[in-house]
Structure 1
Amino acid sequence: MAMLLKKVWESVTNRRSSCPSSHVDSVISPPGYTKSPPPSSLGAFDRLPIDVVFQIVKLVGPKDAARLSVVCKSWRSLVSDDRLWIYFLQSYHDTWNSVFFAETNLQKFSSHIAKSSFMRIYRQRVQVPGAVIVDGGSGYYKFGWSKYACPSGRSATFSEFVNIEFPSYFRFRNFFATIYSRMQVKASAQPIVLSLPLRNYDDTESARASRRQLKEAIYTALFDMDVPAVCAVNQATLALYAAQRTSGIVVNIGFQVTSVVPILHGKVMRTVGVEVVDVGGLKLTEFLREQMQRNNINFRSLYTARTLKEKLCYIAADYEVELSKDTPASLEVPGEGWFTLSKERFTTGEVLFQPHIAGVHTKGLHEAVALCMDHCHAIGFTGDDTWFKTVVLSGGTALLPGLVGRLEKELHGLLPSSISKGIRVVSPAYGADTAWFGAKLIGNLSTFPESWCVTNKQFRRKPRLNLVW
């Protein structure tokens, strides 16, 4: 790199006086997306094809590429090319698709991307402090830093640690203190992006009061620990972001219940209604355990049944047809030995569509999603009647093979063609960690944290602050 910079400086020695002397920061915000060809000579590098020079600049890396931009107008024009910085962004923490989605769809200020080059966006993203991310799911909670490739840890069932139906300041304080201790980071060091399961589904006054009480307990506990800023987003919205969408219906198969959540432009449409199915991942695991016990299959813990559910079970495309088949499969569970399942493999997942076979009296998953879609279609918030036709699955149980195809099939059978045409079901983008990755998109945004977070000062003035959740 030193030789390259030396060569560049030598190639413009006779023209240095005509070059503007400014700091790198003043030249890494070229306007617009389209870059014009270099306005003047690149000196000795004119002997090389421009594509070769471009590849050389790629190899020197983003820091030295920015330094080249202060040499002269020719080099500034070359290294300001959006294609170069798209390349650098692709190699930095996240995939290019997720970076582009986040910067163009999750910005609080719609004019941001139009006014910023990708060179500037890259610089801002590098300077973003990052955030502690806590995905407090209804099952295991996940935590880590937004700059990490994935969660750094997960621990005990969140619903046992904190009862969010009856929020307690001291329980939340103890929970977050445990998180920071395990991450070995000071609470005052970085902002936090927090994900919690959706609760108090209705748009009634009592439901709104419950949500306010929950927010009060969380914010108070965190700000009393000197956390600089807090961004709290519900799990369903984060799962939608992870799927690189801002509108659609999220089906979150949680630990105890499954919620069907309509979301338009990142906002939960409570006026449409959140449908709830009283079947979650735990019920499927317990039903599999019951079947194994009836068939005299011995095991020592519920963890074994959960492992078998995750590794061997699937959703039948046609339940009645599947009953006539012989579908044995075996798996070795460490410490327990080998297990062979047959019909249990698909009858377990069938509980999502026919809860009554597990003794649960509630609507099936497909019926809840169809009802939600019908309400979205009837209310017609926008001229676009397709926003609710994308169904994003979330939760570890949503990874069961066959679920996507079966749900699409059932929806087409329940809904009229005017609604069912164009329906698409999307599997969890990152498995059980999908909501965590949605939070990661926010924590790495070039405008984070100021456009997303509530600060301690703002919270203390909360009568004048509308903390929408």
Structure 2
Amino acid sequence: NNNNNNNKTLLTADCCDGPSHTYVTPQVLPGQPLELDPGRTHWLSDGFQRSDVVRRSSCGSEEAWTHPTDDVPEVWDLNVPVVLDTGSGLMKAGFADQDGPKTVFPNIIGVPKYEEIMNGNPEGGVYVGHDAQHMRGVLALKHPIQNGIISSWDDMEKIWHHTFQLMGVEPEEHPVLLTEAAMNPLENRQRMVEIMFESFSVPLTYVAMQAVLALYATGRTTGVVFDSGDGVSHSVPVFEGYCLPHAVQRFPLAGVDVTTQLKKLLQEQGVSMRTSAENEIAREMKERCCCVALDYQAAESSCREMHYTMPDGQIVTLRTERFRAPEILFQPQLIGREHYGMHESISKSIQKCDIDLRRSLLGNIVLSGGNTLLPGLPERLQAEIKALVPAEVGGAIRVTSPKDRDCLVWRGGAVLANLPTFSSAWISQKEYEEYGPQIVFRKCF
């Protein structure tokens, strides 16, 4: 059934041992790359990023790689795929046939500072997610993902286990789609697939780039995504559904850096912000009070103050700190970083692309990630980029900032997992056993 009002297509598929499920997917026009057939592509090695990227083959039979299909389970014969968007700050997980994630929780592990706290803890001596947040006063908090890269695989496995428990699913009964940041080390992608098959026995899995998924969620297949979460930021150009890795720009600042700057400014006021628990308080304060000034100089003399009540009842007054903290995204030199701002990162990324693509990319700049939710950021970004380009091009600039851009990657993952033509792209348990973790480089791009 086609619904012209919301431009979505409803697909119905029967699942084993259960009723049919309705899958909601954006309507995709014929020929768009979302309707990809992995068997009609050929592979190019990308030395810049040491990763494999895929391009459409000009001839379907020329240099085409086809994966083995014998005895590979059809995704429609299994339960609804699970989408796990594993970010530096938050875990977002849910079923691909839903409009949004079923569970969202802080991607943190809490280890008790005192032995007595461990008594009665069902998670084997550690607290995960919201449980860790609630007990943060007596816990040492750890983030298993640093700057977008998984640094503690044991902790990450605990978080994935906790996620499946919260969702009430048996992972061996559902395909699982994982997300990764741009420029993720290749060995990390292998390890993710290895854990999914070895520790959780999933029937099918896939690893997709976060920025590309964010673009899919907006209904686009060409554009440049500035994806900025808690730990890492990237400017990623995408053409016809595929990342252009030579033009990807890593921006060294993200949400955690804004939080750190806010802490520093508050400490100058005499507010104590030293423990890992107080780091979380500073993050909450940033999300409630901070904003981006359209004119930084003018805002210093006309700033409205806000009040934040600390857990102990202390009231903290924020004035210029509200916009001075996020200003580092546009002026990293304020904290001693010799780097260009996020607007220049996007501009440099576009400049690295073919000249014929640049106008199209400038007209499709998409913001994704929780760090881009700061009020005033889209307007400031548009103004800054407009000042960087020739006047005749300035009118073509469009910055898209969906209201739910903190969940944009997850929604894009749900779109991809639901496409009927994507069913052959999943990595199966049989393929993993035959080819090992290296199969990820042949099927995930």
Matched residue, 1:107: 35
CA distance in 2, matches of 1:436, 1:291: 33
Using CA pairs below 8 Å that are at least 6 residues apart, which structure has the higher relative contact order? 2
Q: Does the aligned pair in 1 maintain the 2:378–2:401 contact within 8 Å?
A: yes
Aligned mate of 1:196, from 180, 183, 188: 180
Deviates more, 1:144-153 or 1:219-228: 144-153
Matched residue, 1:45: none
**CA apart distance, 1:162:** 5.3
Question: Structure 1 residue 235 and structure 2 residue 163: aligned?
Answer: no
**CA apart distance, 1:408:** 0.8
Q: Does the aligned pair in 2 maintain the 1:229–1:456 contact within 8 Å?
A: yes
Q: Does the aligned pair in 2 maintain the 1:93–1:149 contact within 8 Å?
A: no
Q: Deviations over 1:114-148 (max 9, x none)?
A: xxxxxxxxxx9998832111111122222222233
More helix by share: 1
Give the TM-score normalised by the residue count of structure 2.
Answer: 0.70
CA distance in 2, matches of 1:298, 1:81: 57
Question: Structure 1 residue 434 and structure 2 residue 411: aligned?
Answer: no
CA distance in 1, matches of 2:244, 2:9: 37
Matched residue, 1:75: none
Question: Structure 1 residue 458 and structure 2 residue 434: aligned?
Answer: no
Question: Structure 1 residue 161 and structure 2 residue 121: aligned?
Answer: no
CA distance in 1, matches of 2:149, 2:4: 49
Q: Please give the root-mean-square deviation of Cα atoms over the aligned residues, in Å.
A: 3.6
Q: Does the aligned pair in 2 maintain the 1:169–1:221 contact within 8 Å?
A: no
- Could you say if the C-alpha distance between residues 125 and 168 of structure 1 is closer, same or farther in structure 2, counting changes exceeding 3 Å? closer
- Could you say if the C-alpha distance between residues 144 and 356 of structure 1 is closer, same or farther in structure 2, counting changes exceeding 3 Å? same
AA matched with 2:91: Y
Matched residue, 1:258: 233
Q: Does the aligned pair in 1 maintain the 2:26–2:219 contact within 8 Å?
A: no
**CA apart distance, 1:260:** 0.9
**CA apart distance, 1:436:** 1.1
Q: Does the aligned pair in 1 maintain the 2:78–2:174 contact within 8 Å?
A: no
CA distance in 1, matches of 2:2, 2:351: 47
CA distance in 1, matches of 2:425, 2:310: 44
**CA apart distance, 1:354:** 0.6
Deviates more, 1:457-466 or 1:307-316: 457-466
**Structure 1 unpaired stretches of 5+:** 1-79, 111-123, 201-209
Q: Deviations over 1:370-394 (max 9, x none)?
A: 1112222xx2466x84145311111
Q: Does the aligned pair in 1 maintain the 2:144–2:152 contact within 8 Å?
A: no
Q: Does the aligned pair in 2 maintain the 1:143–1:179 contact within 8 Å?
A: yes
Q: Does the aligned pair in 1 maintain the 2:93–2:101 contact within 8 Å?
A: yes
Aligned mate of 2:377, from 403, 412, 416: 403
Question: Structure 1 residue 145 and structure 2 residue 95: aligned?
Answer: yes
Aligned length: 360
Question: Structure 1 residue 365 and structure 2 residue 342: aligned?
Answer: yes
- How high is the sequence identity, in percent, across the aligned residues? 26
Aligned mate of 1:316, from 293, 307, 313: 293
AA matched with 1:397: N
Q: Does the aligned pair in 2 maintain the 1:125–1:444 contact within 8 Å?
A: no
CA distance in 2, matches of 1:407, 1:287: 20
CA distance in 2, matches of 1:83, 1:421: 30
* Aligned partner of residue 216 in structure 1, secondary structure: helix
Bigger Rg, structure 1 or 2: 1
Give the TM-score normalised by the residue count of structure 1.
Answer: 0.67
CA distance in 1, matches of 2:22, 2:312: 37
Q: Deviations over 1:211-268 (max 9, x none)?
A: 1x22221222212232111121111111111222111111111323321111112211
- Could you say if the C-alpha distance between residues 160 and 102 of structure 1 is closer, same or farther in structure 2, counting changes exceeding 3 Å? farther
Matched residue, 1:179: 163
- Could you say if the C-alpha distance between residues 294 and 81 of structure 1 is closer, same or farther in structure 2, counting changes exceeding 3 Å? closer
Matched residue, 1:51: none
**Structure 2 unpaired stretches of 5+:** 12-20, 39-73, 110-141
AA matched with 1:457: K
- Could you say if the C-alpha distance between residues 417 and 109 of structure 1 is closer, same or farther in structure 2, counting changes exceeding 3 Å? farther
**CA apart distance, 1:339:** 3.1
**CA apart distance, 1:197:** 1.9
* Aligned partner of residue 171 in structure 2, secondary structure: coil
**CA apart distance, 1:400:** 0.8
Q: Deviations over 1:432-457 (max 9, x none)?
A: 22211111222333455x13312122
CA distance in 2, matches of 1:291, 1:87: 47
* Aligned partner of residue 245 in structure 2, secondary structure: coil
